[in-house]
Amino acid sequence: MAQVKTIEWKDDKLILIDCTKLPLKEEYLICKKYSDLAKAIKSLAVRGAPAIGVSAAYGVVLAAIEGEKENNNKEQYMEFIYKAIEQLASTRPTAVNLFWALDRMKMILDINKELSKNKIKEKLLNEANLIYEEDIQCNKNIGKYGNEVIPHRANVLTHCNAGALATAGYGTALGVIRYAHHLGKNIHVYADETRPLLQGARLTTWELQKEDIPVTLITDNMAGYAMKLNKINLVITGADRITANGDTANKIGTYSVALLAKEHNIPFYIAAPISTIDMNLKSGDEIVIEERDNQEVREVFGQAIAPNNIDTFNPAFDVTPNEYITGIITEVGILRPPYNISIKNAMKL
C-alpha cells in the first residue's frame, strides 16, 4: 500500500494529516493562515522534527500571502512576515529543524526584500518546496545507509514515531525500516507505545500496518524483558536535536531504551538528517527540554486515569548521552564514535 502523505501545499493552503486523530480517524487540517499552522504545531497535530521544519517553511509562505492581503505598505508587509517567523519559532523549543527551516526562510526574505511582494512570495514558496523535496530525498538516503546495519530477519525496536508522519513523507527511523522491508529482508518491528501521548501505539503501528510491515506493539515497560528474551536485535529511533558531541534529544523514554540496549549488548542507532545536528550546543546538557501540560499524563484520550489534582512531571523529551549510541544514521552516511570528529566531518560534506 502507498505510504501516507503528511504534508501537501495546494491552492495557497497547507494540508496536514491530523496526528491527534490517528488511528481512529484519518482527517486533514487545512491551514490558510500561519496562525493555523502555529496552533497545529503546538497541539501536535503536526509533529516530528523534520515535519515541523517543513511545515514551518510553508507557514512563512502563508504569512506572505496573508500579509499581502492585509498590508499595502511594503514595510508593514515585511514586518508582518518577520513577526510570523518569530511566532512560529516560539511554538516548540526542542526540535532544531524548526529553527533551521525558519532561518533558511528568513535568509531568503532578507536577500529578496527589495523585490515586489509578489516576487518575495514566489521566492519563499520556491524555498519551502525545496526544503520539502530535500527532506524526502534526505530520508531515502538515510534509509539506504541505515539498511547496512539491518540483518535479514531482524527484529527492530523503535520508540515514538519517526516515519512518514514525522517527516515530509518517508521517515527517518521508519525510513530505514521501510527501505529494508522493501528490499525483502523480512524484518519485524517492535513498537513501544510511547507514553504519555502514545505516538508509537497510535502512529507507528498504524503507519507500518498501512504498508504491510510486520509490527508488534508493546508497552514501554516491556522493552527490557523483550531484550532479555532475545526478541530484539537492534534499536533505531529518530531525534529532535543532536549536539556537537553526539548527545541526542528524542521523545521521552528513549534514554531508558538506550540504557536497556547497552545492558543487553544490543546496537542502538539514531536516524536523523544533518539538519537535526545543532553545532551551537556542545552537549546534551544545553538542550532546552519542552515540558507539556499536566493533563497529558493524567488523561488518555480525555479519560481520567489519575486523580485530577495529582502533581505530574511531563517532559516531552529526554537526552541520550553519546556513549549509549552505536551510530547516527544520516543522509551522508553512518556517523560513529568519536562523534565530535565524525559529526564535524559530516557537517563539511
Identify whether 153 is part of a domain: yes
pLDDT band at 69 (very low <50, low <70, confident <90, very high): confident
126 and 188 assigned to the same domain = no
| Boundary residue ending a domain (109, 140, 171) | 140
Assign 3 a pLDDT band (cuts: 50, 70, 90).
Answer: low
User: Which has the closest alpha carbon to 223: 200, 202, 239, 241?
Assistant: 200
Alpha carbons 120 and 110: distance in angstroms, whole number: 10
What's residue 68's pLDDT? Answer: 87
Query: Which of 125, 140, 155 finishes a domain?
Result: 140
Strand partners of residue 215? 189
Question: Which of 140, 171, 199 finishes a domain?
Answer: 140
pLDDT of residue 277: 97
Active site residue 110: no
Taking the C-alpha atoms of residue 87 and residue 89, their distance in angstroms, rounded to an integer, is: 5
Written as nine digits, the cell of 63 is: 504569512
Number of Cβ atoms within 10 Å of the Cβ of 70: 10
The Cα 271–Cα 248 span in angstroms is: 11
Q: What is the mean pLDDT of the chain?
A: 96
Q: How confident is the model at residue 70 (pLDDT cuts 50, 70, 90)?
A: confident
Residue in the block written with cell 553519546: 322
Residue 254 CA to residue 260 CA, distance in Å, equals: 10
How far is Cα 211 from Cα 217, in angstroms, rounded to an integer? Answer: 16
Is 2 part of a structural domain of the chain? no
pLDDT-based confidence at 5, cuts 50/70/90? Answer: confident
Instruction: Please tell me whether residues 70 and 100 are part of one structural domain.
Output: yes
Does residue 331 sit in the same domain as residue 273? Answer: yes
Residues 6 or more apart whose CB falls under 8 angstroms from that of 57 comprise: 101, 102, 104, 105, 127, 128, 131, 132
Q: In terms of domains, do 35 and 134 share one?
A: yes
- Residues 87 and 199 both lie in one domain: no
Our CA angle for 131, 86, 89, nearest 5°, is 55
pLDDT at 175: 97
Task: Please indicate, yes or no, if residue 201 is contained in any of the structural domains.
Answer: yes
CATH number of the domain bearing residue 15: 1.20.120.420
The percentage of residues in the chain with a pLDDT greater than 90, rounded to a whole number, is: 95
Domain that holds residue 134: 7-140
pLDDT in tens, 165-186: 999 989 999 999 999 999 999 9
> From residue 143, how far is each of 46, 176, 181, 244 by CA, in Å?
22, 4, 10, 23
In this structure, the answer to whether residues 193 and 241 fall within a common structural domain is: yes
Reported as a single tens digit per residue, the pLDDT across 87-111 is 999 999 998 999 999 999 999 999 9
Do 134 and 156 share a domain, yes or no?
Answer: no
212-234: per-residue pLDDT in tens? Answer: 999 999 999 999 999 999 999 99
Q: Kindly indicate the confidence band of residue 1, based on its pLDDT and cuts at 50, 70 and 90.
A: very low
Residue type for position 98? L
In a domain? residue 330: yes
Check whether residue 72 and residue 171 sit in a common domain.
no
Among candidate residues 135, 240, 247, 318, the one labeled active-site is 240
How many domains are contained in the chain?
Answer: 2
pLDDT of amino acid 347: 95
Q: What is the pLDDT of residues 265-324, one digit of tens each?
A: 999 999 999 999 999 999 999 999 999 999 999 999 899 999 999 999 999 999 999 999
Q: Which three cell numbers stand for residue 259?
A: 540504557
Residue 188 is part of a domain; what is its CATH number? 3.40.50.10470
Under DSSP, is residue 155 helix (H, G, I), strand (E, B) or coil?
Answer: strand
Residues 157 and 121 in one domain: no
- Scan for cell 502512529, then name that residue: 203
pLDDT at 62 over 90: yes
Residue 1 inside a domain? The answer is no
Same domain, yes or no: 106 and 159: no
Q: Grid coordinates standing for 204? A: 507507528
58 vs 3 pLDDT, higher one: 58
Q: Is 329 helix (H, G, I), strand (E, B) or coil?
A: strand
Map grid coordinates 484519518 to a residue: 26
Task: Compute the distance between CA of residue 88 and CA of residue 103 in angstroms, rounded to an integer.
Answer: 11
Identity at 22, one-letter amino acid code: L
Indicate whether 121 and 220 sit together in one domain: no
Which residue intervals of the chain are DSSP H helices?
34-42, 49-70, 74-89, 96-111, 117-146, 173-182, 199, 205-210, 223-228, 254-263, 295-298, 339-346
3-class SS of residue 221: helix
Residue percentage of the chain with pLDDT more than 70: 99
